[in-house]
Amino acid sequence: MNALSLLDPRSHAFRPDLADARLQGRVEAQRFVEGTLRRITAASTPIRGAPRTDGGVASEALHGEVVRVFEETIEGWAFVQLETDGYVGYVASDALGAVDPGPTHRVTALRTFVYPEADLRRPPLGLLSFGSVLALGGEAVTRGTPYRLLKNGMGAVVATHVAPIDDAPALDFVSVAERFIETPYLWGGRTSLGLDCSALVQLSLAATGIKAPRDSDQQAASLGDVLSDGLLGTRLRGDLVFWKGHVGIVADPETLLHASGYQMEVVAEPLDEAVARIAASAGLPTVVRRIAFET
């Protein structure tokens, strides 16, 4: 077994011709590069497994997140690693901008519009999803609605839809996840317009200050503590139930909250019924893990 096969390409940036300089001595490559930090300036952008628009979407980068760029091609693709969770892939170069100014606020609404000025009657420039970060400066009030102005002078957002990036985190990640009920299921998605099962877990935990890897198998290997009795023991709110290729959240001892590819949306459904249905295609749960958090 060679060194390359020991490293997960989802979280280590390497190819035969190019690799992250931090991997020197661990992988073989024609050249190693340090990479440069850039910030996502698009509302969101797909992270693909290959530099093609018809390639599968592996994940998604949110507005304001930082990526380390190892290569940009004349075809308009960048080979990157997302600083948030270490995910590696290809994004469109036109989704990238300067890393400064750094973000001051985080979007706390499920989604919010960016207006060209502090006026909800103006056609919005775009839409930012929950968890996106942005640099805000001045304040304005129009017809009683408070706004915060973007530092780059390119618009305004409703002030109640954002919070300072250093505000105290949420206490109950399950309550955060429950806000996404009826959000469409989207493979690789990480926004409130569409997301997958592991993104629901990742985004909800992030709101409580807990970092989580991107994919369900990575989460199953690292989050919380394994419950030796699985679902046969005491079920607590916030327990994570893992199957091969899927993850759900115990909302209460009888209810599973998850982004379901069967219902094609985020649902809360009877836990035992979900286990029986999923068993037909993915088998029984592989592990149940518990994360300590306050309610």
What does DSSP say about strands 287-290 and 240-243: parallel, antiparallel, or unpaired? antiparallel
197 is written with which tokens? Answer: 């099962």
Whole-number average pLDDT of the chain: 95
Please state the length of the chain. Answer: 295
> Which stretch of DSSP H or E encloses residue 141?
strand 136-142
Q: In the structure, what pLDDT confidence band is assigned to residue 294 with cuts at 50, 70 and 90?
A: low
Separation of alpha carbons 118 and 249, rounded Å: 38
CATH class of the domain at 3-97: mainly beta
Separation of alpha carbons 49 and 152, rounded Å: 32
pLDDT digits (tens, 9 = 90+) for 89-123: 999 999 999 999 999 999 999 999 999 999 999 99
What pLDDT score was predicted for residue 142? 98
Q: In the structure, what pLDDT confidence band is assigned to residue 293 with cuts at 50, 70 and 90?
A: low
What pLDDT score was predicted for residue 144? 98
Q: What is the mean pLDDT of residues 56-83?
A: 97
CA dihedral of residues 247, 87, 222, 8 (deg, nearest 10):
110
What does DSSP say about strands 105-107 and 77-82: parallel, antiparallel, or unpaired? unpaired
Q: Count CB atoms within 10 A of the CB of residue 39.
A: 23
What pLDDT score was predicted for residue 1? 35
Asked if pLDDT for residue 51 goes beyond 90, the answer is yes
Separation of alpha carbons 207 and 167, rounded Å: 10
Asked if pLDDT for residue 4 goes beyond 80, the answer is no
Q: Which CATH superfamily groups domain 173-290?
A: endopeptidase domain like (from Nostoc punctiforme) (3.90.1720.10)
- CATH 2.30.30.40 domain extents, the chain: 3-97
Token pair 């390409």 in the structure block, residue? 9
Choosing among 2.30.30, 3.30.70, 3.50.50, 3.40.50, the CATH entry for 105-164 is: 2.30.30
Q: In the structure, what pLDDT confidence band is assigned to residue 2 with cuts at 50, 70 and 90?
A: very low
Asked if pLDDT for residue 5 goes beyond 90, the answer is no
- CATH 3.90.1720.10 domain extents, the chain: 173-290
Return the SS3 of 74: coil
DSSP type of residue 222:
T
Q: In the structure, what pLDDT confidence band is assigned to residue 6 with cuts at 50, 70 and 90?
A: confident
Asked if pLDDT for residue 200 goes beyond 50, the answer is yes
pLDDT digits (tens, 9 = 90+) for 136-195: 999 999 999 999 999 988 899 999 999 999 999 999 999 999 999 999 999 999 999 999
Answer for the pair 204, 176: CB distance below 8 angstroms, yes or no: yes
Q: What is the mean pLDDT of residues 17-46?
A: 97
pLDDT digits (tens, 9 = 90+) for 239-268: 999 999 999 999 999 999 999 999 999 999
Asked if pLDDT for residue 33 goes beyond 90, the answer is yes
Of residues 190, 79, 138, 87, the one with CA closest to residue 201? 190
What pLDDT score was predicted for residue 135? 97
- Neighbour-count burial for 77-89, b at 16+ CB within 10 Å, e otherwise: bbbbbbebbbbbb
- Which residue type, as a one-letter code, is found at position 67? V
Q: What is the mean pLDDT of residues 215-242?
A: 96
What does DSSP say about strands 190-191 and 246-252: parallel, antiparallel, or unpaired? unpaired
Q: In the structure, what pLDDT confidence band is assigned to residue 3 with cuts at 50, 70 and 90?
A: very low
65 is written with which tokens? Answer: 């997140």
Q: How far is CA 135 from CA 89, 101, 106, 131, 159, in A?
A: 26, 7, 9, 13, 13
